[in-house]
Amino acid sequence: MNWNGLELPDPYYQDESVYIIHADCRDVLPLIPDKSIDLVLTSPPYDDLRSYFGNSLDFDHFKLVAITLENVISVGGVIVWVVGDQTYKGSESGTSFRQALYFKEIGLNLHDTMIYQKDGPSWPHDNKYHQCFEYMFVLTKGSPKTVNLIRDKKNRLANTIKRNRWERTRGGDIKFRPKELALIKDLGFRYNIWTYGVGYMKSAKEDYIFEHPAIFPEALALDHIISWSNHSDLILDPFLGSGTTAYCAKKLGRKCIGIEIEEKYCEIAAKRCSQSVMRLEV
């Protein structure tokens, strides 16, 4: 099937912006043309915490996915890999770090290690502090070709003059670095810890209700799509789930290929994407 100039397997759902494929991403990713994807935004099924209908992603299978993702992203393209760790017999698995380091082994840059902080703990513990975050590894093929950093952090020193800076060299000396005098703006670039609410999803129209155990907050998807892509860019989510990446890509005027192995979630994603959306011009 030809969609936006790409030959792809037959879709479960398609429109001018979204193409959903019901399949195992390990079978589909090798069929996507090399260097055709501008941004990958996904959260894979990790450890025993993310096993849907018997489908999970052990490390050997992860390596196959990682290699094909490295092939399909364009030079300067970005992969945002949202992942956490299971705690088993008192020890965290470290799956997240293993995956990030493997991406580096196959030639990608670890551009930023970001934190998705949840507004409440996912699973309280009695003997350690409550777990309330996942990693968002931002990986790039070379330098990122698109960077639209979000400026929404209120500056404490807004409307004052920028000061000259002193910094310590590697040898331990103090070096003066003059800066051009200018007023500090009201809003600065945000930090790399992003906080969102979590919970099950319910459709606004009440015509269907669904649950998914690991929902992307729409704001998280929107913020990453804004940060690392431009209008009409092509986005890929190989673990589409309930379709948040595709839905948000459509809202922002991007195009998205979503791959999902479980038909129940393909149905949810298709229903969401088939609704009319209010385009966000960002």
Q: Read off the pTM.
A: 0.87
Residue 206's pLDDT is: 42
Residue 187's pLDDT is: 83
Residue 170's pLDDT is: 75
**What is the Cα–Cα distance from 46 to 55, expressed in whole angstroms?**
10
CB 43 within 8 A of CB 137: no
Residue 247's pLDDT is: 96
**What is the Cα–Cα distance from 150 to 123, expressed in whole angstroms?**
30
In the numeric block, which tokens belong to residue 167?
A: 């910094």
Assign 3-class secondary structure to 85-125.
CCEECCEECCHHHHHHHHHHHCCCEEEEEEEEEECCCCECC
Residues of the chain where predicted confidence (pLDDT) is lower than 70:
48-56, 122-124, 157-159, 161-166, 176-184, 199-214, 278, 282
Domain boundaries, the chain: 19-149+190-274, 151-189
In the numeric block, which tokens belong to residue 236?
A: 């890929």
Digit-coded pLDDT (tens) for 4-24: 899 999 999 999 999 999 999
**What is the bridge-based pairing of β-strands 13-14 and 18-22?**
antiparallel
Could you give phi then psi for residue 52, rounded to 5 degrees?
Answer: -105, 120
Of 157, 176, 182, 282, whose CA–CA distance to 230 is shortest?
Answer: 282
The fold of 19-149+190-274 is Rossmann fold (3.40.50)
Residue 22's pLDDT is: 98
